[in-house]
Amino acid sequence: MPPRSSPTARQQRLGGELRKLREQSGMSAQQAAALLGVDRTRIPNIESGRFGISPERVRTLAFNYGCPDTALVDLLADIARERDRGWWEENRGLLPPALTDIAELEFHASELQSAVTTHIPGLLQTEEHARAVFDTAVPLLPEPDLEARLALRLRRQEVLDRDRPVPYEAVIHEAALRMQFGGPKVARDQLEHILAYSERDTVTVRVIPFATGGFPGAGQSFTYVSAPVPQLDTVQLDSSHGSILLDADMQLRRYRGLLERLRGLALPTTDSRAFIRTIAQDL
């Protein structure tokens, strides 16, 4: 199997978890290689995601590392088993890897939770709103790049519409709701779109109004991507330099706590819908 030139975030995460388990066991890379009957250099390449590994070998390593968490081992084996190229892979080499990594993470998520302050969450954006947002990029995006990003963003939204949609919660600050990307009509249609999705059983939308005053995490927007086991959760941060993915235990605990505090400040769902309707009617 040839090495991967650019492993995905999910492939890197599999390798990183195997490295974490090995280090916790006190076993060296050379000892782990001996268990698999491979050269010692293969282990660092597996742990970096540059080389794949079979589900059977994942289980062999986990057993010898003394990992008692069968749910974690099962999920790692499932990730190792994945061979089909997801739809997002069509964009590898055309778009920044972080964008396709986000699509892959969302596709496999068991739950998604976003907290945003100045932009509508990508999973809830209309095509017209998203296009207007991309039109504000600095430097300006070439038309082919803009169209590719727009198509990816709209395709990502399928996780909310498939037969078994991913449960989604969005905590949105009033500032994001009052932004008029594309003008009043686009903004009004965007708010109506959010309202329609908020009526779904699998989508929860809550608003933090200006009247709340200051709140924790005011300067950032993020999405907490829950995996079937919490050890494989990921936080995706938006920044002016692109997306950042976090998965260290302390980081995950921090953002779980931040989400809990933001929920405590946000309006209840029914009040949030009424609040959004009022903003839409004012446009």
**pLDDT at res. 159:** 98
**pLDDT at res. 1:** 56
Cα of first residue to Cα of last residue in the chain, in angstroms, is 57
What is the pLDDT tens value at each position of the chain, 283 positions in all?
A: 567 778 889 999 999 999 999 999 999 999 999 999 999 999 999 999 999 999 999 999 999 999 999 999 999 999 999 877 789 988 888 899 999 999 999 999 999 999 999 999 999 999 999 999 999 988 999 999 999 999 999 999 999 999 999 999 999 999 999 999 999 999 999 999 999 999 999 999 999 999 999 998 888 899 999 999 999 999 999 877 778 999 999 999 999 999 999 999 999 999 999 999 999 999 9
The domain segmentation of the chain, as residue ranges, is: 9-81, 87-282
Question: Which residue is associated with the tokens 């994945």?
Answer: 82
Distance of CA 108 to the CA centre of its chain: 9
Reported CATH class of domain 87-282 = alpha beta
Select the CATH number that applies to the domain covering 9-81 from these four: 3.40.1280.10, 2.60.120.380, 2.60.40.420, 1.10.260.40. Answer: 1.10.260.40
pTM of the model: 0.93
Q: Which of 109, 107, 95 is nearest to 152 (CA)?
A: 95
Omega into 139 within 30° of 0, i.e. cis? yes
Rounded to the nearest 10 degrees, the angle between the axes of helix 9-25 and helix 55-64 is 30
DSSP 21-32: HHHHHT--HHHH
